[in-house]
Structure 1
Amino acid sequence: MDLTAFVAAMPKTELHVHLEGTLERELLVRLAERNGVQVPLPEGGFTDLTSFLAQYYPAMRALVTEDDFFELAWAYLVKAASQSVVHAELFFDPQAHTGRGVPFPTVIGGYRRAVVKAQRELGVHADLILCFLRDLTAEHAMSTLMEALPYKDWIVGVGLDSDERGNPPAKFAAVFARARSEGFLLTMHCDIDQPGSIDNIRAALVDVEVDRIDHGTNIVEDPELVDLVRERGIGLTCCPVSNGFVTADMKAVEIAALLRSGVKVTVSSDDPAYFGGYVTENLLALATAADLTPEELVQLQRNALEVSWLAPFRRDALLAALEAYAAGAVTA
């Protein structure tokens, strides 16, 4: 079997991609020129999460109007369609924009237009997940949640990202409790090899009781937590290519071990414009590094659909399509 062709055509679900992290250089330059904004161009060379974020946030200044946010999301969704993505759950960071004067409705309005257009014209279904910036205050997060409430029908859940150091899940416990009471699903970044990683994973799972964990590969350090996520069916949204930029390696051994132990690990692209790999490239990189079989690659997609925040009727239809693809590829 040609594994590259098999992965390229396989129907995919992506659960961990930051819209602002899909801002490719060409679009960045065009938007900055259109808006008369000077932004530093990302130079790469990331050695850890902090060095990545130092280039990531300044580039966002190119995003000013609703059309800018639409174009950013639309560009990602077109790319996703070309990679056979059928469903994506898209992180966005409103505080990175409202904090510099861009109104919340401008951000969400542009992204929503792209989501609707992609469903209609590309056949790609997408949902939005609002992420709070954990290096800002809990009060700022709560006020952002309040701004989001009029748009509840456009946002499926909330998450937590940015610099994890000194910003544990407990800092945002009240915000996430309020979000849950408003009907949002919950996830949190537990980044790779950060100080206190395993404690933060435990707090997110046990204290906050999130529905998913983003990254989270350090869970292998605590077998009891591995058992917990397996028993609860909680997904881990892993991003092997970005892992290889901000840590010592892509954590392929750990991801594969979790997959083979029955944990619902998934594979996504994180910030593909910065790390040079969308979801297909991430799957192929992991397959090469961990010697994954075609069936294991299909299982990653089953996992993604099963832990997605899709309505059951849509999830069942996409699972059936995945199974049909896998069966056809085996017999071809």
Structure 2
Amino acid sequence: MSTDASPAPRGGTHDGVASRDLRSLPKAELHLHIEGTLEPELVFALAERNGIPLPYADVAELRARYAFDGLQSFLDLYYACMAVLVTEQDFYDLALAYLARAHDQGVRHAEIFFDPQAHTPRGISIDTVLDGLGRAMADAAARWDISGGLILCFLRDRPVAEAERTLESVAPRAHDLLGVGLDSAEDGFPPSLFEAVFGRAAELGLHRVAHAGEEGPPAYVAEALDLLGVERVDHGVRSIEDAALVQRLVADRVPLTVCPLSNRRLNAESSFQALPRLLEAGLVVTLNSDDPAYFGGYIADNYAVVADEFALDDTVLAGLARNSIDASFASPDRRAALLAEVAAWSAR
């Protein structure tokens, strides 16, 4: 049963543009913060379960706060709502709710970000977080054949030493992780600060990704590549401002995990409108939902919005889905199987 009551996301109605239900397009989601899937209804349910008072009268009042004038105003509410996540069951319920929606939206592989530094200072052990999220991933694989894994993200606006301690705390459980990432407020916190942390992650055999070029300059994208050794760039939309960087990204086939509704809801309309230029330049673009509870749409909704806004047809949309699978850290056999599903969708 679907957990999403919104109408089925569709493409545009003009000639040559997708009009099929885009939930049926098989896809991978590579840029998804699990804490950003915390819907207001679940905030209240978990608050009641854990005896946590909320400064909002009801769901409607909280949902009304989901309007932002930039990244920082979003982050303020984002971290405040996390106070309701306390037990392993809370993290399980959070992740399974997302994965149920993801299944309904055509996600066949999900690489999920989580922010332990938003929880451990509150006295929540990292094992509690990992156990809850991991159990949900296992159940989603059994129920819906969704593959994927967990990517531990460091909060770049907190001390680097804290990131180092966080990584060492999970080193014995590195096998439970797919990789590491870098997120939170970007401006003023260049990737170079975390070079040693990412070097240690590489020693642990973890994949590496990082947010760069969202609010930060194109130079941050180059730093993420050169100093952190990232295999994908999260967001990366401001790369379009640097022609040499664009050429490098195209030549090296570096994927960008673009989040259209996130850009629009954070008043970064220029980033949203950059999508056609990224595609025309030949960049490996993937579409993702980022923090969908806060930004008004899950992954198929993002596909539908860009299909309508930029008149993208089935061929382009299937190409974006193929990019998401090719850019994933799934095994070669799993990628091949999912690419075959996209081909079958195209053939229909």
| TM exceeding 0.5 | yes
- Deviation (angstroms), 1:209: 2.4
CA distance in 2, matches of 1:301, 1:145: 32
SS in 2 for 1:227: helix
Structure 1 stretch displaced more, 284-293 or 92-101: 284-293
SS in 2 for 1:87: strand
- Deviation (angstroms), 1:2: 7.9
- Deviation (angstroms), 1:130: 0.4
- More relative contact order in 1 or in 2 (CA 8 Å, sep 6+)? 2
Report if aligned partners of 1:4, 1:284 keep a CA contact under 8 Å in 2: no
CA distance in 1, matches of 2:268, 2:117: 30
Find the partner of 2:324 among 298, 304, 312: 304
Alignment partner, residue 164 of structure 1: 186
Q: In the TM superposition, what are the counterparts of 1:16-27 in structure 2 within 5 Å?
A: 16-27=31-42
Report if aligned partners of 1:240, 1:250 keep a CA contact under 8 Å in 2: no
Report if aligned partners of 2:306, 2:312 keep a CA contact under 8 Å in 1: yes
Alignment partner, residue 183 of structure 1: 205
**TM-score calculated relative to the size of structure 1:** 0.95
Find the partner of 1:93 among 115, 118, 129: 115
**How many residues are aligned here?**
326
Match status 1:84 vs 2:106: yes
Counterpart amino acid of 2:53? Answer: Q
- Deviation (angstroms), 1:257: 2.0
SS in 2 for 1:135: coil
Q: In the TM superposition, what are the counterparts of 1:66-215 in structure 2 within 5 Å?
A: 66-192=88-214, 194=215, 196-215=216-235
Report if aligned partners of 1:39, 1:58 keep a CA contact under 8 Å in 2: no
CA distance in 2, matches of 1:40, 1:112: 31
CA distance in 1, matches of 2:17, 2:191: 43
Match status 1:30 vs 2:45: yes
Report if aligned partners of 1:268, 1:279 keep a CA contact under 8 Å in 2: yes
Find the partner of 1:314 among 314, 322, 334: 334
Closer/same/farther in 2, CA of residues 250 and 317 from structure 1, 3 Å limit: farther
Closer/same/farther in 2, CA of residues 40 and 228 from structure 1, 3 Å limit: farther
Report if aligned partners of 2:213, 2:220 keep a CA contact under 8 Å in 1: no
Q: In the TM superposition, what are the counterparts of 1:247-326 in structure 2 within 5 Å?
A: 247-249=267-269, 251-326=271-346
What is the percent sequence identity of the aligned residues? 44
Residues 66-112 of structure 1: per-residue CA shift (max 9 Å, x gap): 00000000000000111111011100001100011000100000000
Residues 174-201 of structure 1: per-residue CA shift (max 9 Å, x gap): 0001101111111111252x2x421211
Structure 1 unaligned spans of 5+: none
CA distance in 1, matches of 2:327, 2:106: 19
- Deviation (angstroms), 1:253: 3.5
CA distance in 1, matches of 2:44, 2:17: 37
Find the partner of 2:245 among 225, 245, 248: 225
- Deviation (angstroms), 1:206: 2.3
- Deviation (angstroms), 1:154: 1.6
CA distance in 2, matches of 1:46, 1:247: 8
CA distance in 1, matches of 2:264, 2:339: 30
SS in 2 for 1:140: helix
Residues 203-236 of structure 1: per-residue CA shift (max 9 Å, x gap): 1122222111000100001111111111111110
- Deviation (angstroms), 1:125: 1.4
CA RMSD, 1 decimal: 1.4
Closer/same/farther in 2, CA of residues 289 and 2 from structure 1, 3 Å limit: closer
- Deviation (angstroms), 1:8: 2.0
After the TM superposition, which parts of structure 1 deviate over 4 Å for at least 4 consecutive aligned residues? Answer: none
Report if aligned partners of 1:39, 1:61 keep a CA contact under 8 Å in 2: no
Alignment partner, residue 59 of structure 2: none
Residues 129-185 of structure 1: per-residue CA shift (max 9 Å, x gap): 000000111110011111111221221110000111221101111000110111111
Structure 2 unaligned spans of 5+: 1-15, 57-61
Closer/same/farther in 2, CA of residues 231 and 2 from structure 1, 3 Å limit: closer
Report if aligned partners of 1:89, 1:128 keep a CA contact under 8 Å in 2: yes
